[in-house]
Amino acid sequence: MITLEKIQEVIAAGPYQANWASLNSYQVPLWFRQGKFGIFIHWGLYSVPAFRNEWYSRNMYIQGSPEFEHHRKTYGPQSEFGYKDFIPLFTAEKFDPKEWVELFAAAGATYFCPVAEHHDGFQMYDSEFSDFTSVKMGPQRDILGELKTAAQKTSLHFCTSSHRAEHWFFFGHGQEFASDVKEPLVKGDFYWPAMPEPDNQELTSEPAPSQEFLEDWLLRTCELIDRYQPEVLYFDWWVQHQAFKEPLKQVAAFYYNRGVEWQKPTSITYKHDAMMFGSGIVEVERGKFADAKPFYWQTDTAIAHNSWCYTDSLEYKTVKELLWDLIEVVAKNGNLLLNVGPKADGSIPEKDREILLAIGQWLQINGEGIYSGKPWRKAGEGPTQVIEGQFQVGPKAYTEKDIRFTVVGEALYAFVMAPPKGELLITSLATSGNPDVLAFHGLIKEVCFLGYEEKVTWEQTAAGLKVSVPKITGDLPVTCKIIME
């Protein structure tokens, strides 16, 4: 069993210490920089009501909310049927970890990241620190462990995430009226601590997490690390709160030192500058950067616009939209972590499956410019630009003039976001007779379109590289491969 003393022993043994100066020597693993595309998985008790989104556990206790009214109408008063009463209904009878990882591999993903514990506090793994786990209750299966075992039989890298920090206040609204959250709450209870939700949930909000809660968070996190040895540990928001600064440094040092022991590089992805820049991987939720960055980063987004978990009212994105996201991110030196939400019984919804397989089919043809892709001298060209930041909806449409670039080996890959008609003009490859002008001066050897056997003609001019276009089918992005001398 992990203890506070054991955590300090691992940190003291080094080479990483619990301070930013030491943690700043961290390096993003090569496999992550080459992998580009991963699958996120939100699956838990919230998949049982499957109503609106994965925050059902919080919102069902907010009087007047759609979840509050839906819950009373469907299950009865919160004092008689609380969130904990979904546990026996979460049986996962169709959960097949082998089927899951085979689907993710077919989608072209190189890693996947199931949520180990969401804000609701139900652990999808075995733990010494709580009885409210998928092993002891509900499915009575080690969900996380089974997924890791299945991954080890493939080339997929196993990662996981913890959203435990927000549990400090996630059930707090249940104390405002007659509900089951009003039970005596002590450490170890499912709803504990159910503190009032702060108006400002950022750096210095009050009430701040107590020492008791922070120690519990530290122990749970290090236990998760030791038992399942994920290659990446993803933290959701709110670990940027000042109360988490010291325990977060301890987790990072513990985890990175364990990676050295395991001879397996480990990484933490974080949001909102929770960690010092350079000590982990920058995470941008549902958003992107406008330009390529000199540092490596990741964006996480969902397969639907309106929820991370399965619900009965999902508004799915199109395959085209998701490929646009992938291309934009890779061209700007990042990875895409795409979330899917299984049903409560453990089956992957048919629409999710259909979308994932379509992405996989596209990557089979175009993936050579995605995997291991590095930024070119510019991320792209064309009139359509993304708005930088989190929670920014991507462009609703691109034109055939919108092109994004990556470099792999001897080739420059030009991803044309909308299938071109007639002639393709890549203005970034215009000739320049003046070597002092910061323009393209390389020698082009060959040009082709991935997935099309038809030979193309091309010419470099002062206006750009002009390329004839084969007869293109479908409306998904196409890739022009330009081989250099």
Give the residue-averaged pLDDT of 26-45: 98
pLDDT in tens, 392-402: 888 889 999 99
Final residue belonging to a domain, choices 235, 254, 285: 285
**Both tokens assigned to 181:** 């959250």
Tokens, residue 447: 């040009």
For residue 436, pLDDT over 80 is answered with no
Q: What is the average per-residue pLDDT within 156-167? A: 98
> Which pLDDT belongs to residue 395?
87
Residues 279 and 388 in one domain: no
Query: At 66, which CATH number?
Result: 3.20.20.80
Identify the H or E element spanning 189. none
Q: Specify the range with the lowest mean pLDDT, choosing from 130-144, 180-194, 242-256, 286-300.
A: 180-194
Provide the CA 68 distance to its chain's centre, in angstroms: 29
Residues 90 and 226 in one domain: yes
Residue 175 lies in a domain: yes
Kindly state whether residues 384 and 266 are assigned to the same domain: no
Q: If you average pLDDT over residues 127-131, what whole number do you get?
A: 97
**Beta strands 157-158; 160-162: pairing state:** unpaired
Q: Whole-angstrom Cα distance, residue 279 to residue 249?
A: 10
Do 147 and 219 meet the contact criterion of CB atoms below 8 Å apart?
A: no
Final residue of a structural domain among 240, 265, 285: 285
Does 269 lie in the same domain as 384? no
Number of domains observed in the structure of the chain: 2
214 found inside a domain: yes
From CA 125, how far away is CA 127, in angstroms rounded? 6
Please check whether residue 24 lies inside any domain of the structure: yes
Nearest to 231 by CA among 30, 42, 372, 12: 30
Looking at 285, 314, 337, the residue that finishes a domain is 285
Q: Looking at the structure, do residues 78 and 187 belong to the same domain, yes or no?
A: yes
Tell whether the model's pLDDT for residue 435 goes beyond 70: no
| Residues whose CB falls within 8 Å of the CB of residue 150, separated by 6 or more in sequence, listed in order | 97, 98, 100, 101
Q: What are the tens digits of pLDDT across the range 168-218?
A: 999 999 999 999 998 778 998 999 999 999 887 778 999 999 999 999 999
Confidence grade of residue 437 (pLDDT, cut at 50, 70, 90): low
Q: Write out the residue range of the structural domain in which residue 400 sits.
A: 380-484
> 64 with 180, same domain?
yes
Where residue 398 sits, what CATH number does that domain have? 2.60.40.1180
418 within a domain of the structure (yes/no): yes
Q: Which structure tokens are listed for 307?
A: 């929820």
Task: Compute the distance between CA of residue 331 and CA of residue 413 in angstroms, rounded to an integer.
Answer: 10
| Whether 272 and 385 share a structural domain | no
171/36 same-domain check: yes
Q: What is the pTM of this model?
A: 0.97
Asked if residue 300 has pLDDT above 90, the reply is yes
Q: Does the residue 325 lie in any domain? A: no
pLDDT tens, 280-290?
999 999 999 99
| pLDDT value for 398 | 97
Pull the structure tokens for residue 134: 């998928």
- pLDDT > 70 fraction of the chain, expressed in percent and rounded: 99
Residues 280 and 384 grouped into a single domain: no
Domain membership flag for residue 346 = no
Whether 434 has a pLDDT exceeding 70, the answer reads no
Mean pLDDT computed over every residue of the chain: 96
Furthest C-alpha separation in the chain: 79
Residue 443: how many CB atoms within 10 A of its CB? 7
> What is the b/e burial string over 252-287, where b = at least 16 CB atoms within 10 angstroms of the residue's CB?
bbbbbbbbeeeeebbbbbbbbebbbeebbbbbbbbb
pLDDT of 468 reads: 97
Pair 110, 237 in one domain: yes
Query: Which token pair is 177?
Result: 């009226």
205 occurs within a structural domain: yes
Please determine, for residue 426, whether its predicted confidence score (pLDDT) is greater than 90: yes
Task: Tell me, letter by letter, the H, E, C secondary structure of 355-412.
Answer: HHHHHHHHHHHHHHHCCCCECCCCCEECCCCCCCECCCCCCCCCCCCCEEEEEECCEE
Question: Do 149 and 265 belong together in one domain?
Answer: yes
CA 108 vs CA 32, 100, 103, 456, 476: distances in Å:
14, 13, 9, 28, 16
- Does residue 329 belong to any structural domain of this protein? no
Give the pLDDT of residue 322. Answer: 98
> Does 267 lie in the same domain as 395?
no
